[in-house]
Amino acid sequence: MKAYTEMSKEELEQEFKKLGEEYQKYLAMDLNLNMSRGKPCKEQLDISMGMMDVLNSQVDLRCEDGTDCRNYGCLDGIPEAKQLLGDMMENHPDNIIIYGNSSLNVMYDTVARAMTHGIMGNTPWCRLDKVKFLCPVPGYDRHFAITEYFGIEMIPVPMSPEGPDMDMIERLVREDDAIKGIWCVPKYSNPQGYSYSDETVRRFARLEPAAKDFRIFWDNAYGIHHLYEDKQDYLVEILAECKKAGHPDMVYKFASTSKITFPGSGIAALATSLNNLDDIKKQLKNQTIGHDKVNQLRHVRFFKDINGMKEHMKKHAAIIRPKFEMVEQALEEGLGGLGIGEWTKPRGGYFISFDSMEGCAKEIVSKAKKAGVIMTGAGATWPYGKDPKDTNIRIAPTLPPVEELKKAVELFVLCVKLVSAEKLLSLQ
């Protein structure tokens, strides 16, 4: 089919009428489909059910160093959990703290601690006139929600397939000591599925921020979440690069098993320098006597080691890879060559990022919702929910069954065409 941008007014009007009739048919179907969040599907949750059987009332619940996991202790996690998550995160166990079920919780606590007590002896952020954060866009809405909640000013930084605009980041952090951090999803980023290039990671490590308490919030949520065994993105390890560059304290690295085992009952971890760990533990010892060691032990006994975890991730990939490929195929067949949308083709992670024509994203999502398909709100991938060009839409393929997903994507494609045709007609 001819690109919409090349159609005459008469051709566009004919196309718009045909699309409108097709849309009315979907409205009559009374659909109720959900592509709004990156949740694992039931089949993914099922592959972790064996973890419920590794511990029972007859099992020895002592860990390797003799600690009884039923009792108090181990503020920073049991040794074997630090080893397992350290291997997953490519960091030494000595640089790890094991937390509860959510890395988002750890990130929130990290910002809150900086607000109330400061970082390593620096002025608490709440006493400063202005605190700013850099936010690669499109990005993760829950990151932006944390900084917005604390009244931190967010500055969008454009993303590319290589990572965020490092020229802009280097300039801003060098010139403005009110900039205290940056959100990063460095591997299979949310929502585009990009992985930072080696050079991007090394430039992060070489940053010269004006603020002594500037920190990179490195959320490596999808570190081992590959879709393909033979096509996997590689990420340079940021803590090692920071140490090499003479900035060992500049990064907080977060991860969890949320999309590996059970999202509501996983374990989270933070990896950082020993100086940062000492600073964090001063607060942590007042907050908790230790997180759920029984759950930590359950994870270790289920996986045994990092190789067990990697084999487990192959099962995840086998379940969700066909969903990603089906969405990509549907987008290509329905929209390829029409000039009204672009989308990413990630090799891992949980999302596909779609960019519509300017000024169309909100209306596309609205029309899809009206016909029974719920998607992440347009604008959610930007700070304050405000996408200045109204183009970005996050597609989350993992949760719906394949047949429901197929129907949802078909409707999405129709909505993109319908809204785009209407937009082009309004410009003529």
Q: What is the mean pLDDT of the chain?
A: 97
pLDDT of 36 over the 90 cut? no
Burial class (CB in 10 A: 0-12, 13-18, 19+), 176: middle
Report pLDDT digits (tens) over 189-211. 999 999 999 999 999 999 999 99
Rounded Cα–Cα distance for residues 5 and 421 (Å): 9
Within 10 A of 358 (CB to CB), how many other CB atoms are there? 12
pLDDT of 332 over the 90 cut? yes
Q: Which CATH superfamily is domain 4-44+310-427 in?
A: Aspartate Aminotransferase, domain 1 (3.90.1150.10)
How distant, in Å, are the alpha carbons of 153, 157, 176 from that of 130? 8, 19, 11
Peptide bond before 191: cis, by omega within 30 degrees of 0? yes
Q: Mean of the pLDDT values across residues 17-29?
A: 96
pLDDT of 125 over the 90 cut? yes
Report pLDDT digits (tens) over 225-237. 999 999 999 999 9
Judge if 4-44+310-427 and 71-304 fold alike in CATH terms.
no
- The set of residues, in sequence order, having a beta carbon less than 8 Å from that of 339 and lying 6+ positions away, is 3, 4, 5, 6
Q: If DSSP codes are grouped into helix, strand and coil, which group holds residue 415?
A: helix
Rounded Cα–Cα distance for residues 396 and 350 (Å): 6
For the chain, give the percent of residues with pLDDT over 90.
97
| Domain ranges (residues) in the chain | 4-44+310-427, 71-304
Rounded Cα–Cα distance for residues 213 and 206 (Å): 15
Report pLDDT digits (tens) over 135-189. 999 999 999 999 999 999 999 999 999 999 999 999 999 999 999 999 999 999 9
Q: Pick from 366, 375, 391: which is nearest to 327 by CA?
A: 375
Q: Mean of the pLDDT values across residues 13-29?
A: 96
More confident residue, 116 or 1: 116
CATH number of 71-304: 3.40.640.10
pLDDT of 12 over the 90 cut? yes
Contact 357, 22 (CB under 8 A): no
The per-residue pLDDT for 428 is 84
57-69 exposure pattern, b = at least 16 Cβ within 10 A, e = fewer:
eeeebebeeebeb
pLDDT of 28 over the 90 cut? yes
Q: Mean of the pLDDT values across residues 245-258?
A: 98
The per-residue pLDDT for 1 is 82
pTM: 0.97
Report pLDDT digits (tens) over 48-66. 999 999 999 999 999 999 9
Q: Mean of the pLDDT values across residues 410-423?
A: 98
Report pLDDT digits (tens) over 290-311. 999 999 999 999 999 999 999 9
Contact 172, 207 (CB under 8 A): no
Within 10 A of 103 (CB to CB), how many other CB atoms are there? 22
More confident residue, 164 or 38: 164
Rounded Cα–Cα distance for residues 263 and 253 (Å): 19
pLDDT of 216 over the 90 cut? yes
Q: Pick from 200, 164, 198, 206: which is nearest to 182 by CA?
A: 164
275-313 exposure pattern, b = at least 16 Cβ within 10 A, e = fewer:
ebbebbeeebeeeeebbbbebbbbbbbbbeebeebeebb
The per-residue pLDDT for 37 is 84
Rounded Cα–Cα distance for residues 144 and 120 (Å): 24
